[in-house]
Structures are given as C-alpha cells and as structure tokens.
C-alpha cells in the first residue's frame, strides 16, 4: 500500500450563502486543519472569538475567492448555512479518520 495521502475535501452547497462584498457564496469546501493551524488561528483570534468557529473559518475555503473565510464571515453565516457546515465538518472528519485507518 502507498503512503501517499489523498487530499481530503468536503464540497458543500450552502442553502443561503455567505455574503462577502455584496456577493453570496454558496459553493465552499471544507479542508482538514492541523493542530498547528488551529493554534495559529487562535493566536490571532480576539478574546471573545469562539474556538470552534475559529477552526470552522480556517477549514472553510471559498474557491471563487481563493481563500478561507475570516472569523467574522463565518460568524455572519445564516443558521441554515452553519448547520450545513457542521454536517460537512463531521463528514470531513470521518473521511480523515477512514483514510488514517486505511493507511495504518
């Protein structure tokens, strides 16, 4: 078996879309993050920022913008979009575990 890992991405179609600069973005991708990326994001977070949302913003990539969401963009997402992102995060983490198990 090869040690090469396949990039894990969970494509998401948001029901409402996250509004950024007047445009609603409904197509996003979730990417796994490392503990280092999580800590790095925490270091730049405000004291009032929620860690789970900090991580979700770092995980959520908007292909049309070529970047990940900011904390405030993620925080301003609709509840419907938040639920869809949370379901995608769980699916992504399951894929990550399965890949780790398969390559063990």
Q: What are the CA-CA distances from residue 91 to residues 3, 8, 12, 31, 78 (Å)?
A: 22, 10, 11, 11, 20
Per-residue pLDDT, averaged over 55-83, amounts to: 96
Distance between CA atoms of residues 34 and 98, nearest Å = 16
Pick from 23, 93, 35: nearest CA to 63: 23
Range of the domain at 26: 10-97
Q: Is residue 30 part of a domain?
A: yes
Is residue 63 scored above 90 in pLDDT? yes
Q: Is residue 27 part of a domain?
A: yes
> Which pTM value belongs to this model?
0.86
**The pLDDT of residue 44:** 86
Q: Is residue 77 part of a domain?
A: yes
Is residue 7 scored above 50 in pLDDT? yes
Q: Is residue 50 part of a domain?
A: yes
Output DSSP code: residue 7.
P
CB distance 60 to 28 below 8 Å: yes
Supply φ then ψ for residue 14, to 5 degrees. -80, 140
Is residue 20 scored above 70 in pLDDT? yes
Q: Is residue 34 part of a domain?
A: yes
């Amino acid at each position: 078996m090869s040690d090469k890992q396949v990039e894990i991405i969970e494509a998401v179609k948001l029901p409402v879309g996250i509004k950024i600069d007047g445009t609603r973005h409904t197509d996003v991708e979730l990417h796994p993050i490392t503990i280092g990326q999580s800590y790095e994001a925490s270091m730049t977070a405000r004291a009032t920022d929620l860690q789970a949302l900090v991580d979700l913003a770092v995980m959520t990539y908007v292909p049309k913008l070529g970047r990940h969401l900011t904390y405030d963009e993620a925080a301003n997402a609709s509840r419907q979009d938040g639920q869809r992102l949370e379901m995608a995060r769980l699916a992504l983490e399951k894929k990550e575990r399965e890949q780790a198990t398969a390559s063990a």
